[in-house]
Amino acid sequence: MKILFVASEVYPLVKTGGLADVVGALPVALSATNDVKVLLPAYEGLMGMLSDCRAGPILGNPFGYGEMRLVFGRLEGGSIEFWLLDCPNLFHRQGGPYLNEDGHDHADNHRRFAALSWAGAVVTQYGSLMNWRPDIVHAHDWQTGLLPAYLRAWSQRHPPVVYTIHNMQFTGAYTHDQYLETGLPESLFNMYGLEYYGRYSMLKAGIQYSDAVTTVSPTYAKEIQTPAYGCGLDALMRDQKHKISGILNGVDYQVWNPATDELIDHHYCLRDMDGKALNKQALQKKLGLRIEPRKPLLGLISRLSEQKGLDLVLQVLPDYLEQGAQLILLGSGEKSLESAFRALSGRFPDQVSANFGYNEPLAHQIQSASDFLLVPSRFEPCGLTQLYALKYGTLPIVRRTGGLADSVWEDISGRPQTGFVFNDATVHELWHALQRAMGAYENERVFRQLREQAMQQDFSWESSAAQYTSLYKRLIT
Ligand code: ADP
């Protein structure tokens, strides 16, 4: 099959969260038996990261923001061909893919990602432009939601579109005036189309006009059909439930494997865990924590946002810090959470290390050094950090929601315990989950067994890729 992926971030080229990890790894898993291309914006500096860059077709200047063209390239030694959408006016910016240097949305995000969606639709529709017409298109999150809307508006035969929701909270909602810039017809702007409480939503467009909708875990696929998790789209999700499925993300074990990880100091594996203890010691030293081989070290790697339940951590943790536990946090996002964690580290300077900004090596080092990883999310479509933690023998402490519920087991019959799971996002429940975790830590034999069970879990991409493949095949035939 020829499969076109369209997304706004791809590891290792550009990453702000789990979406990039998925779009970096799933095409590689699929490429064993398929021909996969990945279309993404040519953000500033991206072309320089690819080798063998060659010019592709010019797509024109349909919106008046400057000429758009494609550039093809690969990562050194990589199997996937990337198609970069080059339009300097839209994509050459200071800051990140969505936010400017001050942390605010780029003012023209509605244009930038309409352009990405439009280019994806053009490539899909007019494959003869590059001698390659996809059999299936796989678009991701709100940034590409208008892709199937353009195809619908042009109303010609086109390959099926699979649309994956990585996070329902980001609806990509903009005003009617901004809609007028997309070139889409007024006839789609209604409640049976992409209208969303008086505005339009790119996410809603993706759901309405694609042939199948997937989300990144079976539990989240059910949750988003309820008012509590549906972000105002739950009625639509219930209405469309015949085309929704949940496929759990996998892990790229080439990147996340303590036996081979190039970003950690000491390698280790199930049979030889010495490296993990050495990593703990090395990271405690590097970050100025007290060197304590026998005190529980908690890791936390997260966007700092309401979603992630970090306010609960701030309330519960002091109790455990007073008993000698340690915390290493790596996060970026809301300034108020940043200051709260900075204050916590001021109060417990040799037990709490608060690190802000984006730091890929440190994320790996925390996974390799910690005894536990905290993921107390209010909602979590899939969550990747807990999957990485399992492989690194770092027991996840998670809330029973979304992909966390589908990947970490405590008290589930027939499943070996691999972490600590609590039901409600309350201080009380998190406190008790930590209590159980600390109890297990005290008992060396129990702790070792839990660690082994965690490390034996296999969340590689093969099984998820097989589920996507059968979905693609069903749509094509
Ligand atoms: P989300 O996509 O909601 O942010 P996920 O758990 O699905 O959450 O994916 C988070 C990804 O981003 C993981 O690969 C994690 O290691 C990484 N990550 C999160 N915050 C940081 C950070 N500050 N520095 C480096 N990596 C981070």
Residue closest by Cα to atom 22 of ligand 1: 358
Contact 161, 125 (CB under 8 A): no
* pLDDT score for 287: 98
* pLDDT score for 129: 77
Distance, CA of 224 to CA of 215 (rounded, Å):
9
Residue closest by Cα to atom 20 of ligand 1: 302
CB 384 less than 6 A from any atom of ligand 1: yes
Q: In ligand 1, which atom is closest to the CA atom of 15?
A: 12
Q: In ligand 1, which atom is closest to the CA atom of 386?
A: 6
3-state secondary structure of 165: strand
Is the torsion defined by CA of 390, 392, 397, 403 positive or negative?
A: negative
Burial 144-178 (b: 16+ CB within 10 A, else e): bbbbbbbbbbeeeebbbbbbbbbbbebbbbbeeeb
Calculate how far, in angstroms, residue 332's C-alpha sits from the geometric centre of ligand 1.
9
* pLDDT score for 128: 78
Q: What is the pTM of this model?
A: 0.95
Tokens of 217: 């875990």
**How much is the CA Rg of the chain, to the nearest whole Å?**
23
H or E, element range at 467: helix 461-476
Q: In ligand 1, which atom is closest to the CA atom of 367?
A: 16
* pLDDT score for 155: 87
H or E, element range at 21: helix 18-30
Distance, CA of 319 to CA of 399 (rounded, Å):
19
Distance, CA of 207 to CA of 168 (rounded, Å):
11
Calculate how far, in angstroms, residue 196's C-alpha sits from the geometric centre of ligand 1.
29
- Name the stretches of the chain with pLDDT < 70: none
Q: Quick one: CA torsion of 332, 336, 341, 346, rounded to 10 degrees?
A: 130
Calculate how far, in angstroms, residue 358's C-alpha sits from the geometric centre of ligand 1.
9
Q: Establish whether domains 2-250+461-476 and 274-455 are of one fold.
A: yes
CB 383 less than 6 A from any atom of ligand 1: yes
Calculate how far, in angstroms, residue 23's C-alpha sits from the geometric centre of ligand 1.
14
Tokens of 160: 């099926």
CB 402 less than 6 A from any atom of ligand 1: no
CB 329 less than 6 A from any atom of ligand 1: no
CB 331 less than 6 A from any atom of ligand 1: yes
Question: What homologous superfamily does CATH list for 274-455?
Answer: Glycogen Phosphorylase B; (3.40.50.2000)
Q: In ligand 1, which atom is closest to the CA atom of 19?
A: 2
For every residue of 318-354, DSSP letters joined together read: HHHHHTT-EEEEEEEE-HHHHHHHHHHHHHSTTTEEE
* CA 37 distance to own-chain centroid: 19
* pLDDT score for 26: 97
Tokens of 439: 């109890």
Other beta carbons less than 10 A from residue 77's beta carbon? 6
CB 21 less than 6 A from any atom of ligand 1: yes
Please name the fold of domain 2-250+461-476. Rossmann fold (3.40.50)
E strands, 47-158, in order: 51-60, 68-74, 81-86, 136-140
* pLDDT score for 200: 98
E strands, 217-273, in order: 244-246
For every residue of 57-79, DSSP letters joined together read: EEEE-SSSS--EEEEEEE-TT-S
Other beta carbons less than 10 A from residue 255's beta carbon? 18
Residue closest by Cα to atom 4 of ligand 1: 17
- Looking from the CA of 93 toward its CB, the CA atoms found within 13 Å total 23
Calculate how far, in angstroms, residue 127's C-alpha sits from the geometric centre of ligand 1.
35
- Which residues face 83 on adjacent strands? 39, 72
So where are the chain's domains?
A: 2-250+461-476, 274-455
Ligand 1 pocket test: pick from 8, 9, 302 the residue with the most ligand atoms within 8 Å of its Cβ. Answer: 302
CB 371 less than 6 A from any atom of ligand 1: no
